[in-house]
Chain A
Amino acid sequence: MTDALHQVGLAGDAGILSPPRRALVRRYPMVVLGAVLFAAVLLITLAAPWLASHDPQEIDPIARLRPPSAEHLLGTDALGRDVWSRTIYGGRISLMVGLVVGLLASALGLAIGLVSGYSRIADAIVMRVMDGLMSIPAILLAIALMSVARASIFTVIIAITVVEIPRVVRLVRSVVLSLREQTYVEAAIVAGTRPARIVFKHILPNTLAPLIVQTTYICAAAMLVEAILSFLGAGTPPEVPSWGNIMAEGRTFFQIAPWLILSPGLLLGATVLAVNLVGDGLRGALDPRIARRM
């Protein structure tokens, strides 16, 4: 966490370099809370093999739809599988989808945004396409993409990445456009610096800070969209115990076994909340003026 703050501090606003740990908590309590919460979820899912009380796929026909107990912390599902074990294993899929989509969408969006912000011809075409993509509601576009693909974790990642890219492109492009007018960039152009060098040396570093903030929001959004896709039956294949799939299987039994939906659901909510808190905090560290307002 401190590492991320350092990076952001170096790239954008100064003044948060190497603060004592206690000062960090006092200054950014929400970031620390979010980071701790996220680290906890990450640890639990990584340690799933040791924390799980049962094999997540183990079927027990006698103990079906059991409420939470000492034997089954979060109860069992319609096939008698242990919900706690399934939930902590399922977290791995949600977190992976969130992280991979966040990185992939940011990298691709950064590349497209840089080109679009720097070339007027590309800009006209790229921005029309992005406007078009953004006017299709995100969940619907993801559903439509999934409906033509074979359901797998890979296709889910691709579908959500396509949906998220336009937001990154817009952000990067707007930063590039404002930087192009800066005196130091003009000076570099006059001095005869090659365009590629201007983009990589002068423009790219300044887009990173807002991009990191955007990446956290994309991670959060991607985890939500993955769960919604699986919940609607258009996401990861049913045999994968992702949070969305566990909840989808629990739908029919909600009135007799509400824990099937509520336990993975609340854990997903807590994870997304943690990532959002970190994002809000990072944005605050970058621009204290906005931080006070938002």
Chain B
Amino acid sequence: MYGYILRRILATLPVLGIVAIVVFAILHMSPGDPAALIAGDHATPQQIADIRSKLGLDRPLYEQFAVWLASLASGDLGVSIFSNQPVTRLLAQRMEPTISLAISTTIVMVLLAVPIGVIAAWRADSWIDHAVMTLAVLGFSLPIFVVAYLLVYALAMTWDVFPVQGYAPLRDGIGAWANHLVLPSLTLGLSFMALIARITRASMLEVLSQDYIRTARSKGLGPRQLLIDHALANAAVPIVTIIGVGVALLLGGVVVTESVFAIPGIGRLVVDAILTRDYPVIQGVLLIFSAVYVLLNLIIDLLYVVLDPRIRY
């Protein structure tokens, strides 16, 4: 088993390597000369050349990549062209809202979606089932910002239940923090919830058709024990897998959600960076989000061993 864990951890390295190459390549496809950009409008050709050699831009591409990789490894993501601050500092400043939003959405949506999926499978072909499946297809089809504005229109403008936009840091009190997070979380979570509910239902239906469930039922087990202890435990692996895949959906959605609700997080940072063509920042966000995704899926792969004792490596 330790062999498996080690192999699985090593297998993430080529993936992260490819991500680094892609991100590096994107930066180098960017139009314009970064040295000229940094030097400003009144720079002489000599000054630009100096900056270029200082940044190492006159060296061959593979050498630049090696230097860049080494600085990444030491935790240096470069300096923002726009604000002249280290990208790592910008990311750290914007971390709290994004983490609050992503984690609260994940927890709430998983807690909602799994029971919904279980009930839909338990009462397959009933009106509950049809309602859940309709909601699931809608959740995939509505653009995330349209969901956002529909929610704002209904719950913030028509009935003044939640704030229209903004973010309240956790240190201002948990009530204000939670109140500001409700609409963004619902927005961000709808497609995520649709995905999980759908897979939960499918996975439960598969398990519920098995012989041991019939045995358990004929032995007189109540629905709670039957569904949770017998069925859900065995349906867990695909559900957990899809939660991992769905995180990519969440991380992408964060960018849109934060910009609709004016939440000063990493998603807003990257949208502002596109408008100002601030490539080091775009690059940093891309690397961080991809690393989070890869690591989360690594953890989930390792969780399988715990979730399903039949899996032995």
Interface residues of A (CB under 8 A from B): 128-129, 131-141, 143-148, 150, 220, 224, 227-228, 231-234, 247, 251, 254-255, 258, 261-262, 265-266, 268-270, 272-273, 276-277, 280, 292-294
Q: Is the CB of A224 within 8 A of B143?
A: yes
Q: Which of B140, B201, B202, B275 is the most central at the interface, judged by chain A CB atoms within 10 Å of its CB?
A: B140
Contacts of B251 in A (CB 8 A): 137, 140
A294 near B202 with CB under 8 A, answer yes
Chain B residues 194-215 with CB under 8 Å of chain A are 198, 201-202, 205-206
On whether the beta carbons of A137 and B274 are closer than 8 Å, the reply is: no
Q: Is the CB of B286 within 8 A of A294?
A: no
Question: In the complex, which range does the number of interface residues on chain B fall in?
Answer: 35 or more
Q: Provide the B110-150 mask, 1 if CB < 8 A to any CB of A, else 0.
A: 00000000000000000000000000011011111110011
Which stretch of B21-29, B39-47, B72-80, B217-225 is in the interface?
B21-29
Assuming the contacts A232-B255, A258-B153, asked whether A135 and B293 have C-beta atoms less than 8 A apart, the reply is: yes
Chain B hits for A280, CB < 8 A: 137
Q: Is the CB of B286 within 8 A of A128?
A: no
Select one of A146, A265, A292 contacting B149, CB under 8 A.
Answer: A265
Q: A145-B26, A147-B277, A277-B137 are in contact. Are A132 and B146 (CB under 8 A)?
A: no
Chain A binding surface, main DSSP class = helix
Chain A residue contacts of B227, Cβ below 8 A? none
Q: List 6 A-B contacts (CB under 8 A).
A: A136-B22, A140-B270, A227-B143, A262-B146, A265-B146, A277-B137
Q: Which candidate, B12-20, B175-183, B304-312, is the interface stretch facing chain A?
A: B12-20
Asked if B138 contacts A273 (CB within 8 A), the reply is yes
B contact residues vs A (CB 8 Å cutoff): 14-19, 21-23, 26, 29-31, 137-138, 140-146, 149-150, 152-153, 157, 164, 198, 201-202, 205-206, 248-249, 251-253, 255-256, 259-260, 270-271, 273-275, 277, 279, 282-283, 285-286, 289-290, 293-294, 297
Task: Report whether B271 and A294 are in contact in the complex, using a CB–CB cutoff of 8 Å.
Answer: no
> Which B residue's beta carbon lies closest to that of A221?
B140
Task: Please determine whether A258 and B149 come into contact, CB atoms closer than 8 angstroms.
Answer: yes
Whether B282 lies near A143 (C-beta < 8 A) is yes
Contact yes or no, B198 A132, CB < 8 A: no
Docked pose: A148 CA to B22 CA in angstroms: 13
Contact A146 B19 (CB under 8 A): no
Which residue of B26, B146, B248 contacts A148 across the interface (Cβ within 8 Å)?
B26
Q: Which of A144, A231, A292 has the most CB of B within 10 A?
A: A144
Shortest distance in angstroms between B39's beta carbon and chain A's nearest beta carbon?
A: 21
Asked if A132 and B22 sit within 8 Å, CB to CB, the answer is: yes
Chain B residues closer than 8 Å to A131, beta-carbon distance? 14-15, 18
Smallest CB-CB separation from A294: which chain B residue? B202
- Report A-chain residues with C-beta under 8 Å of the C-beta of B16: 132
Per the bound structure, the CA–CA distance linking A233 and B259 in Å amounts to 11
Whether the pair B259, A140 counts as a contact (CB closer than 8 A) is no
B248 close to A138 (CB less than 8 A): yes
| Beta-carbon contact of B256 and A231 below 8 Å | yes
Among A136, A143, A227, A272, the one with the most B-chain Cβ atoms within 10 Å of its Cβ is: A136
Complex alpha-carbon distance, A160 and B137, angstroms: 22
A266 to B29, CA, bound (A): 36
Q: How far is the CB of A278 from chain B (nearest CB, A)?
A: 11
CB-defined contacts of B164 to chain A, threshold 8 Å:
255
In the complex, the answer to whether A135 meets B19 with C-beta atoms within 8 Å is yes
Inter-subunit contact A247/B274 (CB<8 Å): no
**Interface pairs A-B: 4 shortest CB-CB:** A132-B18, A265-B146, A139-B252, A273-B141
Q: Complex: how many Å from CA A150 to CA B271?
A: 17
Per a CB cutoff under 8 Å, which of A145, A247, A255, A273 touches B145? A247
Beyond A269-B143, A276-B141, 12 extra complex contacts between A and B, CB < 8 Å: A132-B17, A136-B23, A136-B286, A137-B289, A140-B285, A141-B286, A228-B145, A251-B260, A261-B145, A265-B143, A268-B146, A269-B141
State whether A228 touches B15 (Cβ < 8 A): no
Q: Across the interface, which residues of B come within 8 angstroms of A138, CB to CB?
A: 248, 252
Q: What is the minimal beta-carbon distance from A145 to any residue of chain B, in angstroms? A: 7
If A128-B18, A147-B277, A265-B146 touch, whether A140 touches B252 (CB-CB below 8 Å) is yes
A280 and B134 CA atoms in complex are apart in Å by 12
Return the chain A residue nearest B158 by Cβ: A258
Are B22 and A133 neighbours in the complex by a CB distance under 8 Å?
yes
**Min CB–CB distance A208 → chain B (angstroms):** 24
B290 and A135: CB pair below 8 A?
A: yes
Contact A147 B289 (CB under 8 A): no
B18 near A137: Cβ-Cβ < 8 Å: no
